[in-house]
């Protein structure tokens, strides 16, 4: 979490309008942050104002490339979540009644110390942090999202993978009674995704439990989802119930559905086209026009070494 530097104190009128902005998003109430329990920052002596200022600072700074955060409204009303709908603008409404508590996540497979966590224990045990990441969907749109989460590496270390473990496999809840989209026989439910173990251990890879200072809403993957910001958005699997350390490369839902269109690696790469469209540019939600897409979604410095010696043009 960034601390406010004196040189960055916001002029009061700007501060007040930002506060109004957060209020309309439900982030701030008259009595302070709604997210008091989220654990993003330490409880201080003057909780309300100080913590608001810290969040306002993060939220007004945008990402490290200087682009503003996508609005809470857009992040929570333009969603890919095929368990509920193939229409991005219908997901929010159709997912509102998903039961997200109680919720357990089991972590097992090739490990010495398998665990089953209640999601609240995950939130208490691991050190929740604010992470502002770009999300680039394979369809050619993108957002900048302030997640709350913790490094997946911390969880993996807890379960002690054996030397046979080479990949991590993630699975979404399977419950067609709640997720009507899972009645669609075209897809092999539940949604499955995977990472190589070194990708999973990279510091950028988080399990997210919140955004904009609050718990995740259902449409964004509550109560816990993966976020892998240098890969196309479909890798960032929502509503996770099961994580397994495995020996063989997992077969994801998208690899199974359309193997010539969606690969295992799915690293954001403007130089490798999707079979049906170019990936050189993207539309940032809220912007007019398009912008260039960046190799590894702008995280080249942090992750390029994971792919040393690989011909990136071969691994869609
Ligand atoms: N279980 C599940 N996870 C999923 C999806 C999905 O349909 N089901 N869609 C993916 C896609 S294509 C994208 S772009 C992101 C969108 O995340 P957001 O709605 O939080 O922006 O979620 C990913 N995770
Ligand atoms: Mo996506």
The answer to whether residues 256 and 188 touch, using CB atoms and an 8 Å cutoff, is yes
Residue 250 CB-density burial (10 A; 0-12 exposed, 13-18 middle, 19+ buried): middle
Share of the chain above pLDDT 90, in %: 79
pLDDT of residue 24: 54
Protein residue whose Cα sits closest to atom 8 of ligand 1? 81
Residue pLDDT, tens place only, 100-130: 999 999 999 999 999 999 999 999 999 999 9
- The answer on pLDDT for 28 being more than 70 is no
- The answer on pLDDT for 140 being more than 80 is yes
pLDDT of residue 22: 59
Report the distance separating Cα 244 and Cα 165, nearest Å: 9
- The answer on pLDDT for 46 being more than 60 is no
Structure tokens at 59: 């939220």
Give the residue with greater pLDDT, 19 vs 209.
209
238 alpha carbon – ligand 1 mean position (Å):
6
pLDDT of residue 6: 35
Report the distance separating Cα 193 and Cα 190, nearest Å: 10
Residue 139 per-residue DSSP state: T
Please report which residue ranges of the chain form alpha helices under DSSP H: 12-24, 47-61, 72-75, 91-95, 119-125, 152-159, 197-201, 253-257, 300-303
36 alpha carbon – ligand 2 mean position (Å):
31
81 alpha carbon – ligand 2 mean position (Å):
9
**Residue 2: band (very low, low, confident or very high) from pLDDT cuts 50, 70, 90:** very low
Structure tokens at 38: 């989220």
Tally the C-alpha atoms within 13 A of residue 219's C-alpha that lie toward its C-beta.
20
Among 236, 252, 255, residue to substitute to test ligand 1 (most atoms within 8 Å of Cβ): 236
Which atom of ligand 1 lies nearest, measured to the CA of 75? Answer: 21
Ligand 1 binding pocket, CB closer than 6 Å: 79-83, 135, 137, 172, 191, 220-221, 233-234, 236-239
pLDDT of residue 56: 78
Residue pLDDT, tens place only, 243-288: 999 999 999 999 999 999 999 999 999 999 999 999 999 999 999 9
Protein residue whose Cα sits closest to atom 24 of ligand 1? 237
Domains of the chain: 6-308 (3.90.420.10)
Predicted TM-score (pTM) above 0.85: yes
Protein residue whose Cα sits closest to atom 1 of ligand 1? 238
């Amino acid at each position: 979490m960034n601390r406010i530097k004196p040189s960055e104190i916001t002029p009061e009128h700007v501060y007040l309008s930002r506060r109004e902005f957060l209020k309309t998003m439900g982030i701030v109430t008259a009595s302070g942050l709604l997210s008091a329990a989220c654990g993003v920052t330490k409880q201080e002596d003057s909780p309300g104002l100080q913590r608001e200022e810290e969040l306002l600072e993060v939220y007004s700074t945008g990402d490290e490339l200087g682009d503003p955060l996508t609005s809470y409204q857009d992040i929570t009303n333009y969603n890919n979540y095929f368990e509920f709908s193939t229409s991005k603008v219908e997901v929010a409404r159709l997912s509102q009644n998903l039961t997200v508590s109680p919720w357990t996540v089991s972590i097992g497979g090739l490990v010495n110390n398998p665990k089953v966590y209640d999601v609240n224990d995950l939130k208490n045990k691991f050190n929740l942090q604010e992470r502002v990441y770009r999300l680039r969907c394979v369809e050619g749109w993108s957002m900048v999202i302030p997640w709350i989460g913790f490094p997946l590496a911390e969880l993996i270390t807890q379960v002690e993978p054996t030397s046979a473990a080479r990949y991590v496999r993630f699975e979404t809840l399977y419950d067609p009674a709640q997720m009507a989209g899972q009645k669609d026989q075209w897809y092999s439910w539940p949604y499955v995704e995977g990472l190589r173990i070194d990708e999973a251990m990279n510091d950028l890879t988080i399990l997210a439990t919140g955004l904009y200072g609050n718990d995740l809403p259902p449409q964004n993957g509550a109560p816990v989802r993966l976020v892998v910001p240098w890969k196309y958005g479909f890798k960032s699997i929502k509503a996770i119930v099961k994580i397994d350390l495995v020996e063989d490369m997992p077969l994801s839902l998208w690899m199974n559905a359309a193997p010539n269109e969606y690969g295992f690696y799915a690293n954001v790469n403007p130089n490798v086209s999707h079979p049906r469209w170019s990936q050189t540019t993207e539309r940032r939600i809220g912007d007019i026009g398009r912008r260039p897409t960046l190799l590894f979604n702008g995280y080249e410095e942090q992750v390029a070494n994971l792919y040393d010696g690989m011909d990136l043009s071969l691994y869609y």
